[in-house]
Amino acid sequence: MIPSVNDPANSSDSGIVRSRTSNSSRKGLKWLALVVAPILLSGCQLPGFGITPGVTTSSHKVYKLWQGFMVTGLIVGGFTFVLIIFAAVRYRKRNDEIPRQTQYNTLVEVLYTVIPTLIVAALFYFTIVVENPEVALASNPQATVKVVAFQWGWRFSYPGNPSVNVVGQTTQNPELVLPVNETTRVILTSLDVVHGFYIKDFNFSQYALPGVTNRFDFHVTKAGEFQTQCTQICGLYHSLMYFKVKTIPAAQYHQCLTSATSGDSFVACANGTSSLKATVRPSATQGVPVHHG
Amino acid sequence: MVDTLERTTAHEDDHGHGHEEHHGPGGLLNWLTTTDHKVIGMNYTVTSVVMLLIGGAFAMLIRAQLTVPDGAVVSLSKYNELFTMHGSVMIYLFAGPFAFGGLANYMVPIQIGAPDMAFPRLNAFSYWLYLTGSITMLLGFLTASGAANFGWVGYAPLSNAVNSPGAGADLWIGALILTGFSAIFTGVNLVATIFYLRAPGMTMFRMPIFTWNMLVTGILILLAFPVLTAGLVMLYADRHFGTHIYDANGGGSPVLWQHIFWFWGHPEVYILALPFFGMVTEIIPVFSRKPLFGYKGMVFATISIAALSTGVWAHHMFTTGVVLLPFFSFMTYLISIPTGMKFFNWIGSMWGGQVRYTAAMLFAIGFLLTFLIGGITGILLASPPLDFFTHDTYFVVAHFHSVVMALVLGAMAGIYYWYPKMTGRFLNERLGKLQFWMLFIGSMVFIMPGYVLGLQGMPRRMAVYIIDPTWQNLNIVSSIGGFMIGLSTLMFAVNVISTIKAPKTAGPNPWDAHTLEWFTTSPPPHHNFYSLPNIKSERPTWDYFHPDAPALIHDDHDPSHVPGGAKADAK
């Protein structure tokens, strides 16, 4: 993919726009078309600006949106930054003369109203393009998991097999297992206070709210383990309310889910270890550190 | 020109004293019984700066705690109290009261040529409510169960009687009701004063931009604060009277609290920000010796921000899953347009001017740069897909600290600018500039690691982060920045204390400023003025001293339009 401005298609485009000369809103559009759109479309060649593409179909799109926004933000912010510094330095006090008392300049005022409007219109457009599929619910998800948050832990249960319930508190670090290359419906709620269900590598979070059931879909593209934790202040042990996400091939997922007799055996199967070993998970004995209580 | 000014003042001083002097009780009794907006404004300013120091001390403890992954200083529960009270003190007890109770209370009547606020006794009542509320909130630390510990947003149901028992939470609620009424009464006072007590000739479009900002802030207070107060009363009822308004188990709705809170909370962001916008918008043109660029456009931008701010509250709730994402995203993008326009007003005011690097001006420029960072990252957060993965992480903490550190820089700009007016004395400029660099660089060092940490997945309000000790290095950097900010605050305290006994050398108009407060003595007499100039523009004081240099209304780069003036007026 050819990044942004060097794209021959875009260059000829800009030629057409330039021929219409002094219309400033056109210039704004040209600027947008030249800079924002190609970057959003060919984002894979840009740096990640602090985040990764993640491991779901949505997280990839969010990543590109983030890149486009960061580039736009850096351009707009950098332009404004340079203007501020330039004005402050270039027009520093030179003598005691009173400068021209310019107060209004209609053209400039129109420009700095219209151009930002066009920029945010474009940002809003790309937001909607990414957001709609991200929050849309599949009509027929292949897997479903119910997530219940509580002070200070998580319960993951799988309607496909009622005997599978994975529960863990604080640093017991319960494991949420998801299939790769299938759509998983997450049904999220809370037993007590508001908690934050956040998975960094999915570029996503959602509140677990008492009395409210939130539904959303993940389509994971890669197997792996992802450590995470509650993000919304939920009381004393908020900072220790961990959970782990394990993504495994869909076939293994369904086979484990069908054969599991308990949450522990399901997690053990997903990790490829025997169910006997898995009944005492490594972190389970740690419990809550007492010296901070 | 300066000679004329000094002579005028000396003359006024000579026959001014005596018949204009206030014959009230002196000393402590005066302070306790005063209804003078200037004394109340000073009370507010001093009290709120003390709150800044207290909230800052909490911040120092927080930053010290985070220098090691398992918490260096306090227990989990005490940490929750600290960040709750840090946020609460800074938002409820410092930023707002400093702006609309302190500087606005002092300056707005003088800027519009009024002798006092419209309701002087209500004004005094506001202050005492505020002081009482502030003490009430801090008393939480003395209760057996400690201060409130559920975050400054007090989300239900964490803030209910089951999850947060104890008097600390009740004192927090009581304090917010008290300070809420204080804010409402100040809002009433500001709006009434600005609408009814303007001097002859001071039309709406000749009001100083700071007064405009305070008018709009006053209206926003009246829209937003009653909602919070009502919400708090319901929260108290849930805790003690057996109601279930925010309790899902009793048929109530925890999300209702979030709606109520943010319906106040987002206008509140602008209630906090607009006064500081107003301050730097006074300061930048004065120290550029130019009129405010695009004055009327900025007035409309301010009004648009206020109007839009009532329709963006749920962008704090994107991750609840129960709000209409595109609507609140769209409204948030809209509000960025008038906010962005202001930057160009500020740049345009410096453009072609004679920029003097006083301490106040440096703080104002520091405000612009820091607020720019907060504004740009705000645009990122306005996009729900990007908000999802940054929500409740340090990215958001860094975002709003960019904004509030800009406000602190703006507050310092305001103090260094108006201190001579309020006391007759100058703050030490050299120490002020040193404080600026310490505060500005400290803010950057403190804020920037937060953005990175947030993107690395560090959630906010974490007493310990043993889950990922690799976050330690950036946290140490951030803490160093925090301690630099603390050091700059000490410099400020030293600066103020060292001027207490200094001679009053400021004179009425030391900055060659624009607005009416610089036409009277420093500090102003009891009823503010011995005489007023003709008010022909939003710069009456400038017009009086520079009659040959009026603002150029139509200056679209056509020299033939220039009336004889600008250069001819040079000394």
In chain A, where the domains are located: 4-91+105-135, 143-285
Domain membership flag for residue B309? yes
> What CA–CA distance (Å, rounded) separates A36 from A45?
14
Which residue among B341, B350, B554 places its CB closest to the CB of A91? B350
Interface of A with B in 55-84 (CB under 8 A): 58, 61-62, 65-66, 69-70, 73, 76-77, 80-81, 83-84
User: B228 with B180: CB under 8 angstroms?
Assistant: yes
Average pLDDT over residues B540-549: 94
Cβ under 8 Å to B: A residues 2-41: none
Q: What pLDDT does B401 receive?
A: 97
**What amino acid is encoded at B218 in this protein?**
G
Q: Is A170 on the interface with B (CB under 8 A)?
A: no
> 3-state class of B474 per DSSP?
helix
List phi, psi (to 5°) of B15: -95, -5
Render pLDDT for A230-284 as a digit per residue (tens, 0 to 9). Answer: 999 999 999 999 999 999 999 999 999 999 999 999 999 999 875 443 443 444 3
- Minimal Cα distance from B151: which residue of A? A233
Query: With an 8 Å Cβ cutoff, is A112 touching chain B?
Result: yes
Query: CB-based contacts of B546: which residues, under 8 Å, 6+ apart?
Result: A98, B1, B569
Contact A192 B157 (CB under 8 A): yes
Range scoring the smallest mean pLDDT among A285-289, B183-187, B219-223 = A285-289
**Kind of pairing, strands A214-219 and A183-190?**
antiparallel
Cβ neighbourhood burial of A287 (10 Å; 0-12, 13-18, 19+) = exposed
* Inside any domain, residue B9: no
B514 lies in some domain: yes
> Does the pLDDT at position B411 exceed 60?
yes
Q: Which of B254, B459, B465 sits opposite A231 (nearest CB)?
A: B459
DSSP label at residue A20: T
Q: What is the CATH number of the domain that holds B462?
A: 1.20.210.10
Please determine, for residue B39, whether its predicted confidence score (pLDDT) is greater than 60. Answer: yes
For residue B32, tell me if it sits in a domain.
no
Maximal C-alpha separation, chain A: 87
Question: A102, A137, A238: best mutation site toward chain B, by most B Cβ within 10 Å?
Answer: A102
d(CA A214, CA A230): 16
* Closest approach of B319 to chain A, Cα-based (Å): 5
A107-116, B25-34, B90-99, B439-448: lowest mean pLDDT where? Answer: B25-34
- Cβ separation B557–A105 shorter than 8 A: yes
The alpha-carbon gap from A20 to the nearest alpha carbon of chain B, in Å, equals 23
* B58-88 as b/e: b if 16+ CB within 10 A: bbbbbbbbbbbbebebbebbbbbbbbbbbbb
Chain B residues whose beta carbon lies within 8 Å of the beta carbon of residue A62: 385-386, 388-389
DSSP string, B126-193: HHHHHHHHHHHHHHGGGSTT-S--STTTT-TTTTSTTTS-SHHHHHHHHHHHHHHHHHHHHHHHHHHH
pLDDT score recorded for residue B101: 93
**C-beta separation of B525 from B116 below 8 A:** no
pLDDT score, position B553: 78
pLDDT of residue B563: 45
| Residue B437 contacts A, CB cutoff 8 Å | no
The whole-number pLDDT of residue B6 equals: 42
Distances (CA, A) of A6 to A1, A48, A70, B410: 11, 21, 20, 42
Which pTM does this prediction carry?
0.89
Domain of residue B480 covers 39-569
pLDDT by residue (tens digit) across A3-25? 343 333 343 333 333 333 344 45
Q: What is the ipTM of this complex?
A: 0.90
* Contact state of A96 with B570 under an 8 Å Cβ cutoff: yes
The rounded distance, in Å, linking the Cα atoms of A148 and A155 is: 5
Q: Does B150 reside within a domain?
A: yes
Give residue A45's pLDDT: 75
Is B459 close to A230, i.e. CB distance below 8 A? Answer: yes
From chain A, the residues in CB contact with B537 under 8 A are none
Q: Which of residues 81-140 of B touch A (CB under 8 A)?
A: none
The pLDDT tens digits for B100-136 are 999 999 999 999 999 999 999 999 999 999 999 999 9
Q: What is the pLDDT of residue B349?
A: 96
The answer to whether B522 touches B421, Cβ cutoff 8 Å, is yes
Task: Tell me if chain B has a CB within 8 Å of the CB of A116.
Answer: yes
Q: How confident is the model at residue B30 (pLDDT cuts 50, 70, 90)?
A: confident
Q: From CA B160, how far away is CA B148, in angstroms rounded?
A: 11
Sign (positive/negative) of CA torsion B56, B57, B62, B68?
positive
* Triad B144, B149, B152: Cα angle to 5°: 140
pLDDT of residue B28: 81
**Which residue in A104, A107, A192 is closest to B163 by CB distance?**
A192
Cα first-last separation, chain A: 54
Say which CATH class A143-285 falls into. mainly beta
**From CA A234, how far away is CA A238, in angstroms rounded?**
5
Shortest CB distance from B319 goes to which of A100, A105, A207?
A207
Question: Coil, helix or strand for A154?
Answer: strand
Q: What is the mean pLDDT of residues B441-459?
A: 97
CA A28 vs. chain centroid, Å, equals 29
Nearest CB partner across the interface for B376, out of A76, A103, A204: A76
- Answer left, alpha or beta for residue A154, where phi above 0 means left and psi between -120 and 50 means alpha: beta
Total domains in the fold of chain B = 1
Could you give the CA distance from residue B317 to residue B321 in angstroms, rounded to a whole number?
Answer: 8
Q: What is the pLDDT of residue A289?
A: 41
Yes or no, beta carbons of B357 and A93 under 8 Å apart: yes
C-beta separation of A69 from B379 below 8 A = yes
More confident site: B49 or A293: B49
The string of pLDDT tens digits covering residues B475-508 is 999 999 999 999 999 999 999 999 998 999 999 9
Q: CB-CB: which of A69, A127, A206 is closest to B319?
A: A206
φ, ψ for residue A210 (rounded to 5)? -65, 135
Distance from CA of B187 to the nearest CA of A (A): 30
> pLDDT tens-digit profile of B83-106?
999 999 999 999 999 999 999 999
Residues 502-541 of B with CB under 8 A from A: none
Residues B168 and B451: their CA atoms lie apart, in Å, by: 32
d(C-alpha B286, C-alpha B447), whole Å: 30
Q: How confident is the model at residue B463 (pLDDT cuts 50, 70, 90)?
A: very high
Q: Does A114 touch chain B (CB under 8 A)?
A: no
Give the nearest chain A residue to B72 (CA atoms). A292
**Distance separating alpha carbons of residues A227 and A120, to the nearest angstrom:** 35
pLDDT of residue B29: 83
| A228, β-bridge pairs | A243
Report the mean per-residue pLDDT for chain B. 92
Cis peptide upstream of residue B523 (ω within 30 degrees of 0): yes
Percentage with pLDDT > 70 across chain B: 92
Strands A242-249 and A175-180, how do they pair? parallel
Provide the pLDDT confidence category of residue B450 given band limits of 50, 70 and 90.
very high
Q: How confident is the model at residue B545 (pLDDT cuts 50, 70, 90)?
A: very high
Establish if B3 belongs to a structural domain: no
Beta strands in B417-487 (DSSP E): none
Q: Is A233 within 8 Å of B550 when comparing Cβ atoms? A: no
Chain A contacts in chain B segment 375-394 (CB below 8 A): 376-377, 379-380, 382-386, 388-389, 391-393
Residues of chain A below pLDDT 70: 1-44, 274-293
- pLDDT above 60 (res B467): yes
Question: Which residue in chain B has the smallest CA separation from A213?
Answer: B321
For strands A224-229 and A175-180, give the pairing: unpaired
A266 CA: distance to closest CA in chain B (Å): 24
What is the predicted pLDDT for the residue at A148? 97
Residue B349: φ, ψ to 5°: -70, -30
pLDDT value of position B552: 84
